Amino acid sequence: MITTIEHNNQSYKIDLSKPLDISIPLRASQENVNAWYIDRPRIEPVTDGEWIGKVSEGASTNFNNIYFNPHGHGTHTECVGHITPEFYSINDALKQYFFIAEVISILPEKQGENQIITKDQIEAAITSIQPEALIIRTLPNTKDKCNKHYSNTNWPFLTEEAARYLKKLNIEHLLIDLPSVDKEKDDGKLLAHKAFWGYPKATRHYATITEMIYVDTKISDGQYLLNLQIAPFVNDASPSKPVLYKML
């Protein structure tokens, strides 16, 4: 279904019948993507004595509890409350859900034992004029990102300068296919998080970071309409489902 949308005084044509989902689904399995040294997520029927909330066990409905961590078990969107002593909820921070976005692909640079994403790389890759959201696909782009166990792997990360540059560009929503925009073990510095949010001196409470996405190779670099969907959790982060629509 082709439709025309008006966004920031611009008209865009998109095909709503061709969504491009860049989220990773949560599964109760060891094959679920995992980070931050935690066990797999669990999806289990409620039990009450001999009663089991499962149709195959005689119940009238399937009635499951779900145990997971949004930061470690899949695609999630977080607000500045992730790093502040004060409580801020992603459900309050994200009040709009459609954004003009650009997908870029970057091969992180080797720097000693680390792999980094630099300001210069991002500056060279962005071609849109003032995108509201930026989606970073790291290379190589293998499908094992959907079930990789990241703990103790020292994944690639953004430099503080790169994150500060994104803030300067007024990128409000940053999406990346890694467990964090920061180094896995950085002694709690969280330099990229703080630089992107402008914390603590000029905090951008409306800005969000989405981590652990997967951008299939069939999705080309370029401009898209992003629909950033979250579950209404009163928490610093929520599982999320970012969906792209190609501009026609």
pTM for this model (two decimals):
0.97
Q: Which of 16, 80, 17, 20 is nearest to 242 (CA)?
A: 20
Amino acid 1: pLDDT:
84
Q: What tens-digit pLDDT sequence spans the chain (248 residues)? A: 889 888 778 888 999 999 999 999 999 999 999 999 999 999 999 999 999 999 999 999 999 999 999 999 999 999 999 999 999 999 999 999 999 999 999 999 999 999 999 999 999 999 998 899 999 999 999 999 999 999 999 999 999 999 999 999 999 999 999 999 999 999 999 999 999 999 999 999 999 999 999 999 999 999 999 999 999 999 999 999 999 999 98
Separation between Cα atoms, residue 2 and residue 49, nearest integer Å: 53
Amino acid 8: pLDDT:
77
Amino acid 9: pLDDT:
81
Amino acid 173: pLDDT:
98
Buried b (16+ CB within 10 A) or exposed e, 14-51: beeeeebbbbbebbeeeebbbbeeeebbeeebeeeeee
Q: Which of 83, 72, 94, 86 is nearest to 173 (CA)?
A: 94
Domains in the chain, ordered, with CATH? Answer: 2-25+71-246 (3.50.30.50)
Amino acid 130: pLDDT:
86
How crowded is residue 95: how many other Cβ atoms within 10 Å of its Cβ? 7
Amino acid 43: pLDDT:
98
Amino acid 228: pLDDT:
98
**Beta-bridge partner residues of 103:** 135, 222
